[in-house]
Amino acid sequence: MTDRIEKTIDLDAPIERVWRAVSDHKEFGAWFRVELEAPFVVGQEARGKILYPGFEHIVWKAKVTAIEPPRRLAFTWHPYGVDPDVDYDQEEPTLVEFKLEPIATGTRLVVVESGFDKVPAHRREEAFRMNDGGWTQQVQNIKAHVES
């Protein structure tokens, strides 16, 4: 078991375009499949309705910890917090970071989620596995979004 998930993808889009897709709450929602209620603000909770089939009953929540245009956006959340009967706010969250850097062909995006060692042992393996697969899909989603 590892403490972090890291996904790297090269995008055929300028850094300003990728930054907008990551940092604008409506654009983020379009590729991430969540309808966010308001813009991202450091120190505040972002929340919205998950639009992914089978998960529409879940409220997506994350606390924004950093907005550093156009290089880094970070938030904390509770990985794979999908049981509506569980109060995940009692758990230590993981940290998700979107890191952007310009490259000759566009932008390199690195998505890192760290802190899985703090997830309660009884759900750590499933949360890691589900988020690992989720991030694999999400980097493809943002690629399709910014390259269209």
* Burial zone of 63 (CB within 10 Å; 0-12 exposed, 13-18 middle, 19+ buried): middle
Report the distance separating Cα 52 and Cα 115, nearest Å. 24
DSSP β-ladder status, 4-11 and 106-114: antiparallel
pLDDT of 1 strictly over 80: no
Query: In which band, very low, low, confident or very high, does the pLDDT at 8 lie, cut at 50, 70 and 90?
Result: very high
Domain CATH number, residue 128:
3.30.530.20
For the stretch 113-143, pLDDT in tens is: 999 999 999 999 999 999 999 999 999 999 9
For the stretch 9-46, pLDDT in tens is: 999 999 999 999 999 999 999 999 999 999 999 999 99
Cis? peptide before 70, omega within 30° of 0 = yes
Q: Which domain holds residue 11?
A: 4-147
Query: Cα dist. 142→5, 11, 29, 89 in Å?
Result: 17, 9, 10, 28
Which among 74, 75, 73 has a CA at the least distance from the CA of 63? 75
Name the DSSP letter for residue 120: -
Q: Which helix (H) or strand (E) holds 77?
A: strand 72-77
Q: Flag whether the pTM goes above 0.75.
A: yes
Per the structure, how many domains does the chain have? 1
